[in-house]
Amino acid sequence: MDPDLTEGGTASAPGAEAPSRVDQWQSRTEWPLAGAALLFLAAYALPIMEPGIPAWLGNVCTVVAGLVWVLFAVDYAVRVHLAERRREYVRKHLFDLAIIVLPLLRPLQLLRLVTLLTILNRAGSHQLRGRVVTYLAGGTILLVLCGGLAITDAERGHPEATIQSVGDGLWWAVVTMTTVGYGDAYPVTGTGRAIAVALMFGGIALLGVVTATFASWLVEKVSELTDEDQAATRKQVDALAAEVRALREELRSARSD
C-alpha cells in the first residue's frame, strides 16, 4: 500500500491531518522489507538455478525464505495493531493478507516479491506517469524473472516436460507474457499451467498499462497546444489540402491532353 494514502484510502495533502500510525510505520519499514524481498528472491532462485548445491546451502535458503515470511507476517500484524479500526483495515487490505497466507504454498511463494512493486511505485516519481512507467518496468522484469523461476521449479524433472532449465523457463516466460507463444516450450503439469495463466493475465495487464500511458501522453500533448499553435496547424493542413487539389487538377489536365 502506498504510504501516501491513509489507512482509510484517502490521499494526504499539504495542510491535511498528520499521517496515521500505520503510515508512519510503513514509511520506516518499506525499504527494509524491500531488501528482505530481494533476499527471499535470492534464496528462492539459488536452488532452482543450481540444483546440485550442497544440502546445507539448500537448508540455509529454506530457512532464509521462512524468516522472510515471518518478517512479512510480523509487519502485517503490526499494521493491523496500529490501525484505529482494525476490522475495517483487514477488510480493506485483504490483498496484503493474501501475500502472507498464500505463499505458504511453494508455487505461490513469489507473491512475497509484490513488496518490491510497492517500493517501485513510490520511488518512481511524484507524478502519476512517472510512477506508472517505473512500476511497469519493475513489474515486467519481476514477472519474467519470477515466471521463469516458478515454471522451471514446477516442470523440471517431469518426464514429458519441455522446460528443464532456467534458460528454458525465462524464454517461456517472455514468449508467454508477450502472447507470442512459439510453442517450443509449454507447461505439462497442473502447477505449471496455473503459472502460465497468471503470466498471461499479467502480460495483458502490462500491455493495457502501456497503451493507457501512451494515450494519456498524447492527450496531454494536444491539450498543451496554444490557440496559436492550433491555428498554425490548421493553416498547414489547409495548405496541404490545397496542394493536393492542385496536383489533382494537373493530373486531370495531363490525362485530357
Q: Residue 116: what pLDDT?
A: 60
Same domain (yes/no): 108, 200? no
Range of the domain at 132: 127-224
Find all residues with CB under 8 Å of 73, minimum gap 6, and list them.
Answer: 100
Q: Residue 102: what pLDDT?
A: 67
Integer Cα distance of 172 and 163 in angstroms: 8
Same domain (yes/no): 119, 131? no
Same domain (yes/no): 14, 115? yes
Same domain (yes/no): 159, 118? no
Q: Residue 2: what pLDDT?
A: 44
Tens-level pLDDT at each residue, the chain (257 residues): 444 444 444 444 454 566 788 888 888 887 888 788 888 888 888 988 888 889 999 999 989 988 988 888 898 899 999 998 899 999 988 877 877 776 655 555 566 666 666 555 554 444 555 566 666 777 788 888 888 888 998 898 888 888 988 999 999 998 888 777 777 788 888 888 888 888 888 778 777 777 777 677 667 766 765 555 556 567 777 788 888 888 888 777 776 66
When divided into structural domains, the chain yields a total of 3
Same domain (yes/no): 104, 64? yes
Same domain (yes/no): 233, 214? no
| Domain of residue 137, CATH code | 1.10.287.70
Domain stop point among 57, 90, 123: 123
Tell me, what DSSP letter sits at residue 186? -
Same domain (yes/no): 192, 244? no
If we measure between CA atoms, which residue out of 218, 212, 206, 158 comes closest to residue 186?
158
Find all residues with CB under 8 Å of 175, minimum gap 6, and list them.
Answer: 181, 182, 185
3, 90, 92 from 95: Cα distances, Å? 16, 9, 8
Same domain (yes/no): 117, 131? no
Same domain (yes/no): 43, 145? no
Backbone angles phi, psi at 5, to 5 degrees: -105, 140
Same domain (yes/no): 27, 80? yes
Same domain (yes/no): 118, 131? no
